[in-house]
Structure 1
Amino acid sequence: MQILLAFLVGAVIGAAVHFLVGGRGTRGVALGPVLGAASAGLVWMILTWAGVGLDSPWLWLSAFVVPIVVTYPALVLLARARTAHDARERAQLKIG
């Protein structure tokens, strides 16, 4: 049941990263929180299956660090890819 804490922490961190990374208009508002929640939940599951207990700081630290490490680069790369794609489409269609 404690994995819900990891999902919640990951979603909050993902939402914060969404607003910190530029190019918000190039991606959906739910992408950051979903990536953060999924990465935090996944690492929580892997660590608990590996035998790391709830009293271990590694479990809690990973729930805070992994969403940042995963979500920030993913959102930056997606924003760059979308911006480049839109520029190519505008050039191809001879718009502006």
Structure 2
Amino acid sequence: MYILLALISACALGIAVHFVLPHRSLRGVVVVPAIAAAVAAVVYTLMQWSGIGEDNGWVWLASIGGAVIVSALVGYVLTVMRHRADAEQKVALGI
């Protein structure tokens, strides 16, 4: 049941990351929060399976902090790739 707290926290922080990153119009609104929630779920589950209990602070730090870091990096990379692809399309079309 505690995994829901980690997922909700990661998703809320993923929403904040979406609005902090530049050029948010170049990526979907749900992309960054969805990545954050998925990473938090995987990290939390793996740490639980490895024997670390939910009363340990490392589970929370790794799942929520890792989710924020990974979602910020992926969101930034997606934005850069989209910006580059748009620029190439404009050159190809002669705009």
TM over 0.5, shorter chain: yes
Name the TM-score, length of structure 2 as normaliser. Answer: 0.95
CA RMSD of aligned residues (A): 0.8
The count of aligned residue pairs is 95
| Poorly superposed stretches of 4+, deviation over 4 Å | none
CA distance, structure 2, for counterparts of residue 69 and residue 24 of structure 1: 17
Aligned position for 1:60: 60
CA distance, structure 2, for counterparts of residue 64 and residue 38 of structure 1: 11
Name the TM-score, length of structure 1 as normaliser. Answer: 0.94
Give the counterpart letter for 1:61 in structure 2.
L
Q: Please say if 1:19 is aligned against 2:36.
A: no
Q: How far off is 1:63 after superposition? A: 2.4
Encode CA deviations 1:18-55: one digit per residue, 9 max, x unaligned. Answer: 00100101000000110110001110000001011011
Q: Please say if 1:82 is aligned against 2:79.
A: no
Where in structure 2 are there 5+ consecutive unaligned residues? none
